[in-house]
Chain A
């Protein structure tokens, strides 16, 4: 099939970018979206032009590196997939596809479609862990039984891949779903209780410092999340934060 691509090109963080039009022929339905871009880049390189830079790594939907706002939606029109798992059979011959970087003040563009998501790392560094000594002096793993339902729910929250689609989809560029997923994972497990108060306060403080927007409960993040992280996690974080604040 033949596609008309409108791709955001930007030299670096300080140079303004713009949409550039490309026409790409010979795209097959079996290709992944990123493989389609590979072909475009191969063409550009052979013409001596600089290829379109985009983030990608595992190409199996788990590392969270690939991003892209495709026709106005993070990771494109398909649900529960990352861009690397989006296949071209979701598009038709003659389609126009607008490809932009994830946009948020906290995700500055590095080049073309690549954004800096280190804000997410800093949120995790503020408290997304349990303070145990990692040199192995711990109690036996089965000492504390954990209710299967809680463990499964913690696992569901923990499957977040940190891709940033929630921020990209949110009209407020809010990072609540991302932050709450980690808060939830630990809130649901007994191991996480000891530091619960500090954790939620520190992580929320960092999230605010990074310049993400506020949550207005539109639910867009949940819909676009490639891992289906639920909005209940945000409610849980709200609850945790409220009780942390009341406790002082």
Chain B
């Protein structure tokens, strides 16, 4: 097992978590008052953890770069949150949710962690309802559910298309209650610049006040990193502009292993890039694939004509259209999992069948759904022999009721009416399954440094199912971390406050100051965005939806060169000691430039295709992913050794005691 001890409790799967909770050490309430915890990041995981830790009696300090915890990017999650409540009575159970999640993750996650996730999922819903989260309800007053890709039951709870927002505001309100009680001190518009280790333990952070530019020292007995994913390494992603890897990467450089960095989820239904000015990508909910049919023209000349605006997609006859998902995956059709749908779209566009001006888009067509719903509605409304216009009108009404807000959003951005002409969509980077390696207690390889939510690697394996990110963030934050952290902190009840005038803090602060001076001292040729965009292009082209050995090797080289160029030639305007968004970006991009290289290295070493990681060399004859359980059934945890390309690999073998490994098939 090497130096990675996952600390999965022994015993039957269903009893592990209960047993673990009974076995671990606790801190008594009086002593909790003497213990400080820093939580970096205030999204679902961080906000929930901060609230519960404060509730339990610890002194909590929270940090976020946004102007308020309510702005964390968890807020953008649309679809919903899974929970094995079985309210629909359709045979759902903790085991089924556990199984779906492991299978969806293409057998690259831990059984123990995932089962615990399923086990506490129901409690999340109870908790959120008690907090006043306005989940959707049925006419009888009970909670409503909908279904999502990759599963056979209806277990997704939702609040319109804004589930993430409502859950985040729930966690934010729980935080507010603790702030009002004085148990949480919130440091907003603050960025963690480095982690401070004292005698090998995480004992604090160096933070920058983003308004004044001041560098501050903050000490604590433990540090929780809940800083989200690193999708912005691709520059264009559905992440927020500010989402970054800095906190996790700083911890990595101080000794926390980084696990499975190449496991990235590319979401199939996003609004395509419209030009070089594009700053970010917008997701269209997965639910659209329930009724939309995905296609490209069969003939290349038609695709070209459409691209040039000479042909309208609606003018193309049925026989000239290629519904490639229905063609390739007759059983699942348009509802194949995200990774499969994304790759199929890329394949068609690479082959020259893309339909927007950049050639990187496919159609998502609702005409068939509109007609089907229209006919049905005409029947139920008692209209005999309806004409085509009536059918279309009625059908559009039904589609509007189901997806109205999404259609409106699309029209605002693209300026086309998706009721009349098919939507154009293309895959975009959406979520990162990889992250800081953590054990069952969510502790990283640095004692006292914890990671929660998307920032850790733990639960989704190589691919995440829809509506599971919210579940994991809240499970980690509300129900897992607040207990498991007590096991570590029970040794600290006599430690007393951690002084911030130690050499460890001094050195860390000096390093931060030096780094910023260095960033400001570049010769000043190119802007920060210039480098970020360049990095993004390398990542997207060579570490994106399909990867191969040659290009990954090129990527490692190119990124390393780009990084060197960056440190020599980046231009950062303004001053260190004031509000400076360019400097903020520069620090983040500097870390992306290191992570990107490790990402490529990880992708290069994993000689198999699984989940979101697709290596062109490892595919079946039909072009499906070819997993290699014999050689790669492990978590790849990388130890920092200076340059990212020198990182040392540690393997945590994945043990499956309750599930039989199978090849995923959606044919």
Q: Which residues of A contact B (CB under 8 A)?
A: 11-12, 28-32, 34-35, 38-39, 42, 44-46, 48-51, 53, 55-65, 78, 81, 85, 87, 89, 110-111, 114, 116-118, 120-121, 124-136, 138-142, 145-148, 151-152, 154-155, 158-159, 161-162, 185-186, 189, 191-192
Contact = CB atoms under 8 A, between A and B. Distances in A.
A39 B282 CA distance: 20
A186 B132 contact: yes
B73 A58 contact: yes
Interface stretch (B48-56, B599-607, B621-629): B48-56
Contacts of B593: none
Nearest to B165: A62
Contacts of A48: 524, 571, 573
A34 B581 CA distance: 14
B67 interface: yes
Given A38-B277, A51-B582, A155-B166, A59 B240 contact: yes
A34 B479 CA distance: 39
Interface in B135-189: 135-143, 159-160, 162, 165-166, 169, 172-174, 176-177, 179-180, 186, 188
B478 interface: yes
B127 A45 contact: no
B177 to A, nearest CB: 4
B132 A189 contact: yes
B134 A63 contact: no
Contacts of A57: 66, 71, 73, 240-242
B320 to A, nearest CB: 28
A182 to B, nearest CB: 8
Interface string B575-605: 0001101100000000000000000000000
Contact of B412 (A58, A85, A158): A85
Contacts of A129: 131-132, 173-174, 176-177
A145 B142 contact: yes
A39 B276 CA distance: 10
B67 A65 contact: yes
A139 B240 contact: no
A121 B176 contact: yes
A114 B131 CA distance: 32
B423 to A, nearest CB: 16
B75 interface: yes
A63 B76 contact: yes
Given A51-B573, A129-B174, A189 B413 contact: no
Given A147-B141, A159-B165, A138 B240 contact: no
Give me the 6 closest cross-chain CB pairs, A-B, nearest first.
Answer: A145-B141, A129-B173, A155-B134, A141-B129, A154-B134, A57-B240
Contact of A121 (B188, B412, B415): B188
A44 to B, nearest CB: 8
A64 B179 contact: no
B125 interface: yes
Given A132-B127, A135-B478, A152-B137, 5 more contacts: A61-B409, A132-B131, A134-B127, A158-B159, A191-B129
Interface string B103-147: 000000000000000001001011111111011111111110000
B132 A139 contact: no
B160 A155 contact: yes
8 contacts: A42-B529, A53-B581, A60-B280, A87-B413, A134-B131, A136-B127, A138-B127, A152-B137
Contacts of B412: 78, 81, 85, 87
Contacts, number: 227
A120 B278 CA distance: 31
Contacts of A78: 412
Contact of A151 (B52, B73, B137): B137
Contacts of A30: 274-275, 277, 415
Contacts of A60: 76, 238, 280, 282-283
A38 B529 CA distance: 10
B571 A45 contact: yes
Contacts of B581: 51, 53
B135 A130 contact: no
A59 B279 contact: yes
Contacts of B48: 134
Interface in B59-100: 66-73, 75-76, 85, 87
A131 B181 CA distance: 11
A59 B280 contact: yes
Contact of A185 (B126, B134, B242): B134
Contacts of B573: 44-45, 48-51
Given A38-B277, A57-B66, A87 B162 contact: no
B70 A162 contact: yes
B499 interface: no
Nearest to A30: B274
A203 to B, nearest CB: 11
A178 B143 CA distance: 27
B130 A139 contact: yes
B479 A135 contact: yes
Nearest to A65: B71
Contacts of B139: 148
Contacts of B138: 148
A125 B176 CA distance: 5
Given A60-B282, A135-B478, A148-B137, A28 B211 contact: no
B482 interface: yes
Contacts of A39: 277
Contacts of A35: 277-279
Contact of B482 (A135, A138, A161): A135
A141 B85 contact: yes
Contacts of A32: 279, 413
Contacts of B71: 57-58, 63-65
B619 interface: no
